[in-house]
Structure 1
Amino acid sequence: MTATLPTAVEAPSVPDTTPPTRLRASRPDLLLCGAVLAAILLVQGWNTTGFPALSDDEGTYLAQAWAVQEGKGLAHYTYWYDHPPLGWLQLALVTWLPAALFPDVMSVAPMRVAMLLVTAVSAVLLYVLARRLGLRRWAAALGMALFGLSPLSVVLQREIFLDNIAVLWILLAFCLAASPRRHLWHHFGAGLAAAVAVLSKETMLVVLPALLLTMWRHTHRDTRKFAVTGAITACVLTGLAYPLFALLNHELFPGDGHVSLIDGIKYQMSRAGSGFILDDRSGAHAVLRSWLYYDRVLPLAGLAAAVLLLAAARWSRTGRALAGPATAAVILALVALRPSGYLPAMYVIQMLPFLALSLAGAVSLQPLRRLRSGGPGAEPLEETGRGGTGATPTHPRRPALLRRAATLAIALTAAAVALPHWYDATHTALTTDTNAPYRAAAHWLRDRTNVPEPSRTRVLADDAIWLDLVHAGYRPGTGAVWFYKADLDPAITKTLPRGWRDVDYVVASPTVRRDAPTLPLVKAALVNSETVASFGEGDGRIEIRRVRAEAR
C-alpha cells in the first residue's frame, strides 16, 4: 500500500448568519466591509477642511493636544479639570507625526484629516460588533453605512470632538464583550476600553449598563460572575486614575489659589440647562432641529427601532442579541430628554452607532421565523416522498418569499424617503467652503505689512484660529489670547493691567460676538475698536478689529 498526499478540499461555505471568529478569516466579510469603508472615507474625507465651519471646541481640543506635544502641560492655558485629559492625549498621539513633519499644519482644518482614522476604526468595529451579535452580512453592512454615511455623521464625525474618540473605545468595549471566544481577558479588556471611553468623554458613563447587559448575555454561564466582576474591576480601577491624578497634584478638593477636580465637576453640573427638547422655545429643541435638518431617518427611525428590538427580545433572537446596543440608544435618548440638563450639538455623536445598529437589526427581524419551524401558525403538512412518506410543507417557500418581499418593500420605501434628503445634505458637505473667512483672516494676520511685529502684538481670538496665530509668530497664551481667558483666567488677566487697553486686535468671529456680552474685557475691546478687515458675509463673517489708539 502506498501513501498518497491528501488533496486540497475547499472549505464549506459558512452561512452569513454565523459570525466569523476573526474578520480577516472571512473573505466575504472583508470585501463587504472594505467596500463600505472605502465609501465612508471617500465621502467624509472629501472637502473635510471646508465644511462644516470651524468651531471653538475643535480649536480648544487641538490646542490642548498641541500643548501636550510641545511639553507645555495638559492644556495651552491652566488646566482646570473641565474634562479628563485622556481625550486630547490620544489626539496628540494621532496628530504627532504630521505635526512633527509639518509644524505649520497643526491647525484645526488640516488636522481634521486625523479624524478619518478614528472614523475608519469605529466603522470597522461597528461591522465586527454587528456580526458578533448575529446580524447577516448585509445587515452589518447596512448598519456600518448608516453610521458612516448619514449626513449627521458626515458633518459631525469630521470635527475634532472628544465624542468621536469616545465612540471608538465604547465600540471596542462592546466588541470585546460580545467576543465569540469568551476569553476572560476579552471581558477584562472590555472593562478597560469602557473606562478609556468614559475618560475620553464623561457622558459615556451612562452607556455602561448596556455594555454590562451585552457582556452578561455573551459570557459562559460557568465563568459569568468572574468575567463580569473582572470587567467591572478593570473599569473602576482605570477610572480611579483620574481622581488619583488630581489628588497627587493636590487639586482634588477646592482651595485658594488652585483649580480642583471638585470645582470642575460642580461647574459641569451647574451649567444652565437647555430646556426640554420637545419645547419648541428651548435651546435643546433648537439642537434637535439642527440634527433633523441633516437627517431625520437615523435619529427617529433608529430610536423607534431600538424600542422595537427591546420589545422583540422575548420572541426574537435578533432582539435578544441587540438588546445591549438598543438599551444604549434608549438610555442616551432619555438623558437628552431630561429638562434640566445641558444638551450640546455633538451629543448625538454618541448615539449614532447604537441607532445605526438598532435600525439595521430591526430591518433584519424575521417575524415569520416560526412559520419555517412548524410552530404556531405553520403551514399544514402533507404526506409525500419518493417511495415512502415524509412530512413536508405544502408551500415551503412562501414564508421566505413573503419575508423577502416585505423587506424589499420597506427598503425601497425608506430609500425613496431618505435618499433625496441625504443627497442634498451630503452635497452641501462635499461642495460648500464655509471656512474661507477663517483662512483669509489667518492670512491677513500673518502678513507683515498688516502686522509688522506679531511677537509684540496682542490679539484676542477664538481657539479655532489660535494655533494659526501661534504659527504666525504671536506669543502663545499672552500674544495670541483665547478670548475667554482674558476675563476668566487670573494668569492672563494679570498680564493685562490696563484691561482692554492692552489689546491690539480682536478677531471677531461668530463665537466671539456671541459670548462678548458676558465678558466685560472682550466687550469693551469690541466697543473701542474699528474694523480693518472683514471676510465673509452675514453671521458667519470674520472681522479683524483694531483697538483705537486714541481710546488707549
Structure 2
Amino acid sequence: MTASITHTTGIPVRGTTTATGVRLWFQVHARSLAWLLPVVAIAAVVQAWNMGGIPQRIDDEGTYTAQAWAITHLGELTHYTYWYDHPPLGWIQIAGYTSLTGAFARYPFAVEAAREAMVFFAAVSAVLVFVLARRLGTARPTAAIAVLVFGLSPLALQYHRTVYIDNVATPWLLAAFVLVLSRRQQLAGFVGAAACLGVAVLSKETYLLALPFLVWMAFRRADPSTRRYTLSVAGAVLAVIGGGYILLAAVKGELLPSAGKVSLLEGVTYQLGSREASGSLFTGGSLANEAASQWWALDPVFIVLGSAAAIVGVFLRRVRPIAAMLVFLLAMMFRPNGYLPVPYVIMLVPFAALLVAYVGERAVLALSGITAFRARTRFRGVSRRALGGAWALVTVAALVAAVPLWGSQLRGFLVTDLDKPMAQAENWIGDNVDKRSRMLVDDAMWVDLVNDGFARNNVVWYYKLDTDGAVEKQSPNGWKDSDYVVTTDSMRTGGNSSSDVRQAIANSTSVATFGTGNQAVDVRQIHPQGETTAKQEITKATDQRKTLGTQLAQNPALEADSGTKSQFRAGQVDSRAMIALGQVLADRSVRVDRFTPMTGETGQAFRRVVLHASSTQAASRTEQTLEAMSSAFRPTSVERDGDTLTIVFPTTDPTSTAVSAS
C-alpha cells in the first residue's frame, strides 16, 4: 500500500508515493545486509559442503535423528521409551524442519537429513550473532568478522555439523540476548527474551545456565520506573513455559517415580547427580580430558583467543554480562566431579566469537584514540593504548597461527569422507544379512536399517539392551537373543558400561570390517553358544575346507597358478564355491583367477570366484550348471562377460566359513 506525498500547501502531489514498509526496511538496512548476507552465505556453504563426509556419524546424532524420525513417521515422541533424559523440544524442531522440507527423502542416510537441519539452525545463529554484535555497538565489519569466526572455526564447524540439540537451542539463546537489548517496546522485548530462553532450555536443559546473565543484562537495560513490572512479566512467561514441561509429565503420570514407569524426577536426578562424572580436565584418560583434547586438536587458537577475550570483556562495561557468562561457563568445565558433555562447547562458541571481534575492535579504537569517552587522566589514556596494542599483537599472532591451521582443517572438512566405513557397513548389511536377523547397532544406523526392511524391534540400539524394560522383555536371554552386533567407535567406548554389550562383542566373530582406527565399523556375528565353542567350530570348518581345497587343487581340469592353488589348500575359499567348482570341473576345464576379498571381508573365506571357460558357449553351459544347483550351493549372482564368469556366493554363519576368529 502506498501513500501520496502532501505538498507544503496541503495539496496532494499526484503520482508521488513513499516507499512501502518492506522497501523502507531494506533501504534502512541495506548497508548491514551488504555485510551480513555474504558472510552468512559463506558460513552456510562451508557447513553444507561435504556435511555427510565429515565427521563420521556418531551414536548421539543418530539418537536425535531417530527421535525426530519417530515423530514424523511413527507418531511417537521417541523411537524407544521416553525417559526424560532431555526435554523433547530440540528434536521436535528437527522433526519440524525435516517434515516441512522433506529432507529424509533426499538423502540415503537419515543422519544427513538432520545435518541439513543443523545447517539451517547454524545459519539462523550466524544472523543473530551479527545482530547481537550490532546491538552491542560494534561496527558492521566487526559484526561480520564475528560471524566468520563463528562459522569457519574448525572447532565450530565440527560441532555445528553434528546433529546435537545444542545447535537447535543456540539460536534461541542468541535471540533472547538480542531481544533483551531491544531499543523500543521494552516489555515486548523482555517477554520475547523470556520466551526464547524457555524454548532454548526445553531444547537443551544446560542452556538454563545463561539465565542469571540474561537477567543481569535485562536489569541493566530496564527502565527504572517499570523495571519491577517488566522483569516480573518476563519471569512469569519463563515460568509458564517451563511449567508446561512439568505439566506434560504430570498429565502422563510420570512426574514422580513409580513402579514400572519412567519419571521426570528420575531423569533430572540422573542428569544432575547420578550420572557418571567426567573427571578432571587435567587427568589423562578422563572423559573431561578427552573432550577437551578433541576441542584443542580442532582449534587451539580460537580456544586461547576466545578465553582471553572473555577475561578482557569482563572489564568492558557493554559486554560485561556476556563475558562473565563465558568465564562462568569456562569455569564450570573445571569441576572435578561434574559431567562435561562433548557438545558443551557449542554454547560457548557464538559468544566467544562475538567477544573476539568486539575486543579486537576496542583495541583498534584504543590505539587510534577514537573512543566514545576520553580518558580522565593521561595515565589512563596511555594505559588504554598500551592494552590495545597488546591485544592487537595477540590478535596478529593468533591470525598468523590460525591461517595455516584453519586452511588445512577446512580443506579436510570439504574433501575428506570419514563416514565411508559407516556407509559401506550399512550397504553390506542390507545386501548380505537376512532381514529377519536381530542386531545390536549404533543408533546412527537405526533409521536406515528400519527403512531397509528390518523389523523395528529387531534393530536394537545397543544402549537400550539392558536399560529399557520394553527391550528387555523382547530379549529375555539378553545378548544371546541377537544375531549380529555392529561395533563403531561410539559402541566400543560407550558400550563398556553394559555387561550385555560387552558379552555380545566378546562372544562374536567378525564377518566384515570397514575402515581403520577410530573410524572402523565391524559387523560381527554373535555366537550364543559362547566364544570357546565358536572358535572350536571355526577351526573344524577351516580344516574341512583345507581338505576339500587340497583335493580340488589336484584336479587336472582346474587351471590356476600356484598362488591360487595355495589359497585352496589353505582353506581360504568358501566351501560352497569349491563344491560348485567341483561340479563344473566334472564336465569341463576352467581357469580360475587369484582370489581377492570382497570389500570389507579381508580375513574371511573368499566367496567370489572369477573363472574363464574355453569359449562363450562353455561359459553359458557353466552358468546353467551353477543355476541348476540346489539352494544350499547356488550362488547369489552370476555375471557373464563373454567367456568370463564372476560368481558370488551368499554370506553364511562364520563358524562354517571364517578363516579365523577375531
TM-score w.r.t. the length of structure 2 is: 0.72
2:27 maps to 1:45: no
Partner of 1:511: 490
Could you report, residue by residue, the CA deviation over 1:457-516 in whole angstroms, capped at 9, with x for unpaired residues? 21110101111101111112x111111212221211111233333211111112222244
Q: Is the 8 A contact 1:24 1:30 kept in 2?
A: no
Q: Is the 8 A contact 2:104 2:110 kept in 1?
A: no
Partner of 2:600: none
Structure 2 distance, partners of 1:427, 1:248, is 51
Q: Is the 8 A contact 1:371 1:377 kept in 2?
A: no
Structure 2 distance, partners of 1:549, 1:281, is 33
Q: Is the 8 A contact 1:533 1:544 kept in 2?
A: yes
Any gaps of 5 or more consecutive residues in structure 1? Answer: 12-20, 312-318, 380-397
Written as runs of structure 1 = structure 2, the 5 A alignment for 1:370-519 is 375-377=375-377, 411-447=395-431, 450-452=432-434, 454=435, 456-476=436-456, 478-519=457-498
Cα 1:295/1:256, change in 2 over 3 Å: same
Q: Which amino acid aligns with 1:302?
A: G
Cα 1:443/1:212, change in 2 over 3 Å: same
Q: Is the 8 A contact 1:54 1:108 kept in 2?
A: yes
Structure 1 distance, partners of 2:528, 2:373, is 86
Q: Is the 8 A contact 1:371 1:399 kept in 2?
A: no
| Residue 174 of structure 1, CA deviation | 0.6
Partner of 2:336: 339
Structure 2 distance, partners of 1:24, 1:471, is 49
Structure 2 distance, partners of 1:272, 1:104, is 36
Could you report, residue by residue, the CA deviation over 1:17-48 in whole angstroms, capped at 9, with x for unpaired residues? xxxx9787311110101111111012111111
Cα 1:279/1:458, change in 2 over 3 Å: closer
2:292 maps to 1:288: yes
Written as runs of structure 1 = structure 2, the 5 A alignment for 1:291-306 is 291-306=295-310
Q: Is the 8 A contact 1:182 1:218 kept in 2?
A: no
Cα 1:340/1:174, change in 2 over 3 Å: same
| Residue 186 of structure 1, CA deviation | 1.6
Cα 1:182/1:372, change in 2 over 3 Å: closer
Structure 2 distance, partners of 1:84, 1:429, is 31
| Residue 56 of structure 1, CA deviation | 0.4
Structure 2 distance, partners of 1:499, 1:528, is 13
Partner of 1:308: 312
| Residue 373 of structure 1, CA deviation | 6.0
Partner of 2:611: none
Percent of residue pairs bearing the same amino acid type: 38
Partner of 1:392: none
Structure 2 distance, partners of 1:372, 1:253, is 56
Partner of 1:108: 111
Structure 2 distance, partners of 1:7, 1:417, is 60
Cα 1:96/1:105, change in 2 over 3 Å: farther
Partner of 1:122: 125
Q: Which amino acid aligns with 1:538?
A: G
Q: Which amino acid aligns with 1:266?
A: T
Q: Is the 8 A contact 2:85 2:271 kept in 1?
A: yes
2:232 maps to 1:229: yes
Structure 1 distance, partners of 2:158, 2:344, is 13
| Residue 298 of structure 1, CA deviation | 2.3
TM-score w.r.t. the length of structure 1 is: 0.86
Structure 2 distance, partners of 1:428, 1:321, is 38
Structure 1 distance, partners of 2:391, 2:14, is 45
Stretches of 4+ moved more than 4 A in 1?
1-8, 21-24, 98-101, 103-106, 368-375, 398-411, 549-552
SS in structure 1 opposite 2:81?
coil
Structure 2 distance, partners of 1:84, 1:373, is 46
Match of 1:158 among 148, 161, 164: 161
Q: Is the 8 A contact 1:99 1:106 kept in 2?
A: no
| Residue 139 of structure 1, CA deviation | 1.4
Match of 2:196 among 193, 196, 199: 193
Could you report, residue by residue, the CA deviation over 1:308-351 in whole angstroms, capped at 9, with x for unpaired residues? 1212xxxxxxx222122212211211211211111111100000
Written as runs of structure 1 = structure 2, the 5 A alignment for 1:91-102 is 91-99=94-102, 102=105
Q: Which amino acid aligns with 1:211?
A: L
Cα 1:272/1:4, change in 2 over 3 Å: closer
| Residue 276 of structure 1, CA deviation | 2.3
2:210 maps to 1:207: yes
Cα 1:5/1:114, change in 2 over 3 Å: same
Cα 1:483/1:267, change in 2 over 3 Å: same
Q: Cα RMSD (Å) of the superposition?
A: 3.1
Structure 2 distance, partners of 1:152, 1:131, is 24
Q: Is the 8 A contact 2:98 2:104 kept in 1?
A: no
2:505 maps to 1:521: no
Q: Is the 8 A contact 1:370 1:376 kept in 2?
A: no
Structure 2 distance, partners of 1:549, 1:374, is 79
Cα 1:191/1:510, change in 2 over 3 Å: same
| Residue 104 of structure 1, CA deviation | 6.6
Q: Which amino acid aligns with 1:292?
A: W
SS in structure 2 opposite 1:81?
coil
Count residues with an aligned counterpart: 513
Structure 2 distance, partners of 1:457, 1:237, is 47
Could you report, residue by residue, the CA deviation over 1:280-327 in whole angstroms, capped at 9, with x for unpaired residues? 45331222121111112322221221221212xxxxxxx222122212
Q: Is the 8 A contact 1:372 1:378 kept in 2?
A: no
Partner of 2:358: 361
Which of the two has higher C-alpha Rg? Answer: 2
SS in structure 2 opposite 1:254?
coil
Moved more, 213-222 or 420-429: 213-222
Structure 2 distance, partners of 1:301, 1:154, is 17
Structure 1 distance, partners of 2:14, 2:309, is 51
Structure 2 distance, partners of 1:226, 1:504, is 63
Cα 1:192/1:278, change in 2 over 3 Å: same
Q: Is the 8 A contact 2:104 2:113 kept in 1?
A: no
Could you report, residue by residue, the CA deviation over 1:440-459 in whole angstroms, capped at 9, with x for unpaired residues? 11111211xx124x1x2211
Written as runs of structure 1 = structure 2, the 5 A alignment for 1:250-289 is 250-269=253-272, 270-280=274-284, 282-289=286-293
Partner of 1:83: 86
Structure 2 distance, partners of 1:495, 1:283, is 32
Q: Is the 8 A contact 1:506 1:545 kept in 2?
A: yes
Structure 1 distance, partners of 2:398, 2:453, is 53
Q: Which amino acid aligns with 1:214?
A: M
